[in-house]
Amino acid sequence: MDETVNEMQNSALQCAVAILDLMPVVMGSLRCRMRRDATNSLTMVQFRVLAFLERHQAASLSKIAEFLELGLPTTSKTVDGLVNSNLVERHVDPEDRRRVLLEASAAGKKEVRATREIAEACLAKMLEPLPDADRASVRNAMQLLRPIFRLPTICE
């Protein structure tokens, strides 16, 4: 019985190690390829802010900073740039007039969709050399991982 528990723990540990080893490599490769794409005008941080706002409709600066794991001054500077580019709008919170909420503008939503399409195309190009069966295995693995890593429960 103990061996079975150890095997299960080792198997989960091996999965964890594989995920942690691969994530930075995937993101780094994606960042490099997206920077080279002339049609992409967003940095990865700007893309993450807009994607967060698209999912959450309206959010405070502190919520965005928490999501990005950045300080308020850095996040504020990033958001200011997005506001100045008309990709993010500031609104007074109707429930608390002292609070400002941030929301992706129509242009911001369009830009995040376009950037996501660039990212998808970059990843697809990287995955193209894999045989069909291996790409199906990757898709299946992602479907298995999705409920484990769904965004609202990441930090619970």
Q: Which of 132, 86, 120, 124 is nearest to 106 (CA)?
A: 86
Whether the pTM exceeds 0.85: the reply is: no
How many structural domains does the chain have? 1
Torsion angles phi and psi, residue 42, rounded to 5: -100, 145
For the chain, count helices (H), then strands (E).
Answer: 6, 2
Would you state the structure tokens that stand for residue 89, as one six-digit string?
């709008």
pLDDT per residue, tens digit, the chain (156 aa), is 555 656 656 688 898 899 999 999 988 888 887 778 767 788 889 999 999 999 888 899 999 999 999 999 999 999 999 999 999 999 998 888 888 999 999 999 999 998 888 889 889 999 999 999 999 999 999 999 988 887 554 444
Q: Which domain holds residue 74?
A: 2-153
Q: Read off the CATH number of the domain in which 70 is found.
A: 1.10.10.10
